[in-house]
Amino acid sequence: MKFNSVKTLSVLTSLATLINADCQLSGDGNYYCSSTDAIVYSNVGISGSYNDVTSMDETSCACSSQPIQFSGNLAPLDEELSVHFRGPLNLKQFGVYYPNQGTALKKRDGDMANENCAETVSKKKHRHKRDVAVEYVEVTATVYVNEAGETVTATAPATNTATGASTVAANNNNNNEVSAAQTSTQNNNINNNANNDGTSQKRDATTSLTAASPSSSLTSSNSYSNGDWTRMTYFTPGSATNCTFMNHQGGTAGSGTWSGCFGNSISYAASNGVDGAGSAFALDDVTLKSGQEYMIFSGTECSGPNGDCGYYREGIPAYHGFGGSSKIFVFEFEMPTDNDGSGYNQDMPAIWLLNAKIPRTLQYGNAACSCWETGCGEMDLFEILSAGSDKLISHVHDGQGGGTQDYFVRPVGNTLKAAVIFNGDDKSIHIVQVNDDFSGSLSQATVNSWLNTPGSAAALP
Ligand SMILES: *[C@@H]1O[C@H](CO)[C@@H](O)[C@H](O)[C@H]1NC(C)=O
């Protein structure tokens, strides 16, 4: 993929926006504007393509892929998403709702069972201790001219904060010394702010910002006239329904795999969120430390290699993400201060969404081994950009790229409850701080009140 300097223009435009909005350049190198209760992305969804991984070769360490087309409201974020968490963080509630219309449709194929995460019992039995070596990569939008001479928006690796811990000091059952493929090759492009100490999570705050006005008028869509939304997935500490907790401990504790080429795959997470496990566990009431990560998939297993989830890395526990252009994620979490970590991503908690194909192939490592670099989708919901910050920023990273420098206040000694509403009908995504209970169903009135919460606009191009 070839990028040209049109990007510079968009940076300048965005800068002007920031200056007009009277935003502040913080000491950590990031711009922040106002605190907010809601962020509204509008005009979400493009037509395009990304490179869908089709094989991961353990001999050559190479991956192959083929372009896959996408289009439609919210695309590609209407595809199946996995939900990712980084400490310091304590998750108190998580849920996913679908409109009843969709629920009714889904019931028809309910005989393909395998919803194996129902009421998973918490037990502690795996005690492997190791450093999690990860790198956090992200893209922002840029504009390039394609082979046909058309100007199109595409993704570019912009900032890539890689960990120095590219080598995983694994204490895994295979006795493998992991040293593999954890070094990103993605950071060879423009605006490379990568560093290896994790202290500068500086993103190019201005690159793809298209709007930062704290006032926006919203009109909610009412097309789910048949009413309610049903909670299909739900977690509270010790209890998980239709969700699977995973982390990156493949090959260490009875699930997933490790290889010299691709390192540790995803694996089931133990109930402490940190260790691997041989089967699915519900997370306990645990606070992840800085840099530690887990992710949530649905409880529905993929049908098999190259089946209904497409290609995935051989040997992993493979589960469906949360698909569709109408869905609501709910969260309640605390992000306490962590002054005690080892340095990597120190005190920078985050919650974000990825196209679920990314972790099922390779989340951290050779860029050719996931669809991430070519824009299959990432949405940062709540992300701290510098150690100790109390400002949670949101951003979309796909072919559109955008966000706002308005922020949610980090819940340090309390919890934050929020809903993320994928409103495919009007191409919007709302991230809203809420007070309501996350009960088994949601009335459209409640959802409308969330959609109507005035917030900060984060329009996409
Ligand atoms: C579990 O969640 C997935 C993804 O949202 C959904 O497709 C599936 O129908 C759910 N299963 C049950 C039993 O609710």
115 Cβ inside 6 Å of ligand 1: yes
230 Cβ inside 6 Å of ligand 1: no
Place of tokens 């502040």: 24
Q: Identify the pLDDT of residue 198.
A: 31
Model pTM?
A: 0.73
Q: State the Cα–Cα distance between residues 401 and 11, nearest whole angstrom.
A: 12
pLDDT digits (tens, 9 = 90+) for 360-369: 999 999 999 9
Half-sphere exposure of 410 (CA within 13 A, CB side): 24
Comparing 20-34, 205-219, 422-436, the range with the smallest average pLDDT is 205-219
Residue whose CA is at the smallest distance from ligand 1 atom 2: 298
Comparing 29-33, 94-98, 222-226, 402-406, the range with the smallest average pLDDT is 222-226
- Which residues neighbour 337 within 8 Å (Cβ) at sequence distance 6 or greater? 88, 347, 388, 412
Taking the centre of ligand 1 as the mean of its atom positions, its distance from the CA of residue 308, in whole angstroms, is 14
298 Cβ inside 6 Å of ligand 1: yes
Q: Identify the pLDDT of residue 461.
A: 76
Taking the centre of ligand 1 as the mean of its atom positions, its distance from the CA of residue 110, in whole angstroms, is 9
Best residue for ligand 1 mutational test, from 233, 308, 327, 328 (most atoms within 8 Å of Cβ): 233
Taking the centre of ligand 1 as the mean of its atom positions, its distance from the CA of residue 332, in whole angstroms, is 21
pLDDT digits (tens, 9 = 90+) for 252-305: 999 999 999 999 999 999 999 999 999 999 999 999 999 999 999 999 999 999
